[in-house]
Structure 1
Amino acid sequence: MATATQAPAAAEGHIDPAAAFVPVQTRSERPTSFDPADFGTPTGREVNWKHTPISLAQPLLQNEAGPHGIISVEVTAPEGVEQLRLGPDQAPRGEVFRPEDLASAIAWTQETDAPLIRIPAGVELAEPVIVRLTGSGGLAHAHVVIEAQPASRATVVLRHEGTAHQAQNVEIIVRDGAALTVISVQRWDDDAVHLASHQARVDRDASLTHIVVTLGGRLVRVNPSVELAGAGADGKLYGLSFADAGQHFESQVYLHHKGPHTVGDVLYKGALQGADARSVWIGDVLIGPDAVGTDSYEANRNLVLTDGARADSIPNLEIQTGDIQGAGHASATGRFDDEQLFYLQARGIAETEARRLVVLGFLSEIVQKTGIPALEEELIAAIEAELAAGVQA
């Protein structure tokens, strides 16, 4: 089933191959393949790896199977949800997903029996599907398929806890008229490494809300790629992270407006505290030549709480048609707003409490988008615990 997108061969003649080489400049040009051998081992100079600590990711860049049972899986699903297992050649596995880096190609190869969570046509779930993944150490690979059939409504939550080195693919298919929310929560232990590739297609008049929440792990890299393929498709991509000392949290977000009259909204927020706390956000939006009437906006906001923390934010926008409703991007990274602190302290609020209120107000916008009250309460409590730990450090 291996396919690959190859760069055009250099024309014959007196051309120095090294001089003729042109690196991949945009997300849409990246090569894809199901065969790990088609990807070279990253060195850290590649455009999609240059911000990632390769030494920490190294175990997941070797095509070696780990022992089974490293990550236990517990699924809580309302009645009517279909759960199946898919081999590499069983549809709908591979209908949307195309590995675009070595780790995701290895995960595809190593996962011979991929779980499928399917929401049947016309079904509206009153409660979310909860997939709890708990690591017990070691190397793990996964490929998960989530399919929302026509006119269905559902929320699927992936919860990651414990410790592991995991390469994970999540393939999301939102068929005509369906509305799906996928929430990926990373609350790993401090030594965990998690490299995830999420790829989604949203069909005609369908909508996808995709939310990434990262609060734990040593290296966590979740890269969502969403194609708004059908006319009237809607994509909302939200993210929240809180990095402490020594943690590296990264997301490379790609939103491709392919069909006409599509709407996209991307908003990622992060907070950082402690020495060597690091966050990386790269946002790529492509408005294709047939995506007339598109309305799209992406933004990334970061709040640096202490010296020694660093946030990299790189928004990119490519427009291939002049007939759009609107498109834009924004990025901002800064420290506390002194005016906000002064305002709160002038009203008798202690500085520590004032800082807590500012951070909670900043991040709660994303928390509230989950739409699950119990999860919202849990995440607010977790953010408060992060802040308290920072004060004590």
Structure 2
Amino acid sequence: MGLDTKPLSTLHEISSYNVADFPVPTGREEEWRFTPLSRLRGLHNGKAEITGGVVVEVDVAPEATVETVGREDPRIGRAYVPADRVSAQAYSSFEKATVVTVPREAVTSKPIVINVRGTGGAAYGHILVDVGPMAQAVVVLDHRGGALYADNVEFDVAEGATLKVVSLQDWDDDAVHVSHHHARIGKDATFRSFVVTLGGDLVRLSPSVSYTAPGGEADLTGLYFADAGQHLEHRLLVDHTVPNCRSNVTYKGALQGDGAHAVWIGDVIIRAEAEGTDTYELNRNLILTDGARADSVPNLEILTGEVAGAGHASASGRIDDEQIFYLQARGIPFQEARRLVVHGFFAQLLEKIEVPEIRERVLSAVEAELAR
């Protein structure tokens, strides 16, 4: 499968399964200008040789099935075509793909947990979660360990189905992870994603959404906490191509320490044929110390005048001194006051994590970050 020469929009113009269709990034391209390419350690130029550094294990619900398949399986690549060189490299280089299937009208009795464990080497991967018509499922992607890893994750959500996903990037400090998550949403289907990015030296995650029929709904939520020297990058694309679909994006992050860097790019496209679209995206960054930097770029491309709603907002700033003063005036020490403000900043997001043990784990991780 080769290059798709029909431009998607002025935001995303190329899609292809072939690595050669994408030039090697130099850092001057819009899609790569925030990413420190030298820290990708060869993922972007083909020099990262496979050393088997990642193991994928699935704790599957009894109502679902899990398989390990090769690239020749016709389901692989059905929902998503790579949109940059690293994604295409991962597609052409993975050895085995993990496929989780939730059959028609099934309702999973427990979360399906996909454990991705890095063992220190370089690897490429592919995961497909295929949710049948009218089915309902909760999936947890749990990334830990050390690795140099690039992968693609497809979520294929059929008509009337509901899929809720929690993706945790809780890597060791030296890990590098570049990943694309793509959801293809069918008629009257619902996709809810919650991304938590905490660990790793460099993590670049690109969630994207497309619709196949009217009535689809996507809710994309994210929480990240960058420490000294960390680069955490989230690049989102919601592509409205059919009428009467909805999307909502809310990402919040906190940063502390010298060289902590967070990047959030939010791209929403409303095409001429996507009348009745209702969409909104929001990004907020809380900068806790000197030396940290947040880049936030919302982009909204509207190609029709018949929309139900469309908007975006972005802001980055320090903790409000008045909030700290208010708490300290009531006898609360500075560090505790700071902790309460950060908790309040993330509280509304944390309530959206529907898996209690994951919610508690994320809350504990935020506590640990604040204690550093």
Where on the TM-score scale, by shorter chain, does this alignment land: which range? over 0.9
> Which residue pairs with 2:18 in the alignment?
35
1:100-134 residue CA offsets vs partner (Å, 9 max, x unmatched): 11111111111132111111110111211011111
Could you say what the CA RMSD is over the residues aligned between the two structures, in angstroms? 1.5
> Which residue pairs with 1:118 in the alignment?
101
1:265 equivalent in alignment to 2:248: yes
Structure 1 CA distance, aligned partners of 2:110 and 2:194? 17
Code of the residue aligned with 2:278 in structure 1: it is D
> Which residue pairs with 1:194 in the alignment?
177
Change in Cα spacing, 1:42 to 1:190, as seen in structure 2 (3 Å) is same
Code of the residue aligned with 2:347 in structure 1: it is S
Structure 2 CA distance, aligned partners of 1:260 and 1:315? 22
Mapping of residues 317-332 of structure 1, within 5 Å: 317-332=300-315
Is this contact kept in 1: 2:37–2:44, CA < 8 A? Answer: no
Is this contact kept in 2: 1:229–1:257, CA < 8 A? Answer: no
> Which residue pairs with 1:19 in the alignment?
none
Larger radius of gyration: 1
Q: TM-score, normalised by structure 2?
A: 0.96
Structure 2 CA distance, aligned partners of 1:113 and 1:74? 12
1:53-101 residue CA offsets vs partner (Å, 9 max, x unmatched): 1001132124354123x21222111102111233323222111111111
Is this contact kept in 2: 1:228–1:257, CA < 8 A? Answer: yes
Q: TM-score, normalised by structure 1?
A: 0.91
1:215 equivalent in alignment to 2:198: yes
1:362 equivalent in alignment to 2:361: no
5+ long unaligned stretches in structure 1: 9-23
How far the C-alpha of 1:7 sits from its partner, in A, is: 7.4
Structure 1 CA distance, aligned partners of 2:55 and 2:75? 24
Is this contact kept in 2: 1:81–1:118, CA < 8 A? Answer: yes
Give the secondary structure class of the aligned counterpart of 2:364.
Answer: helix
How far the C-alpha of 1:337 sits from its partner, in A, is: 1.0
1:227 equivalent in alignment to 2:210: yes
> Which residue pairs with 1:146 in the alignment?
129
Structure 2 CA distance, aligned partners of 1:104 and 1:153? 28
1:4 equivalent in alignment to 2:22: no
How far the C-alpha of 1:139 sits from its partner, in A, is: 0.4
Q: Which moved more, 1:213-222 or 1:223-232?
A: 223-232
Equivalent residue for 1:101, pick from 84, 97, 100:
84
Equivalent residue for 2:43, pick from 33, 56, 60:
60
1:339 equivalent in alignment to 2:322: yes
Structure 2 CA distance, aligned partners of 1:114 and 1:38? 23
Q: State the number of aligned residues.
A: 371
Identity fraction in percent:
47
Structure 1 CA distance, aligned partners of 2:65 and 2:9? 40
1:262-315 residue CA offsets vs partner (Å, 9 max, x unmatched): 111000000000000000000000111122211110000000000000000000
List structure 1 segments (4+ residues) > 3 angstroms apart after TM superposition. 62-65
Is this contact kept in 1: 2:94–2:123, CA < 8 A? Answer: no
Give the secondary structure class of the aligned counterpart of 1:134.
Answer: strand
1:188-221 residue CA offsets vs partner (Å, 9 max, x unmatched): 0111000001111101000101121100000000
5+ long unaligned stretches in structure 2: none
Is this contact kept in 2: 1:193–1:218, CA < 8 A? Answer: yes
1:204 equivalent in alignment to 2:187: yes
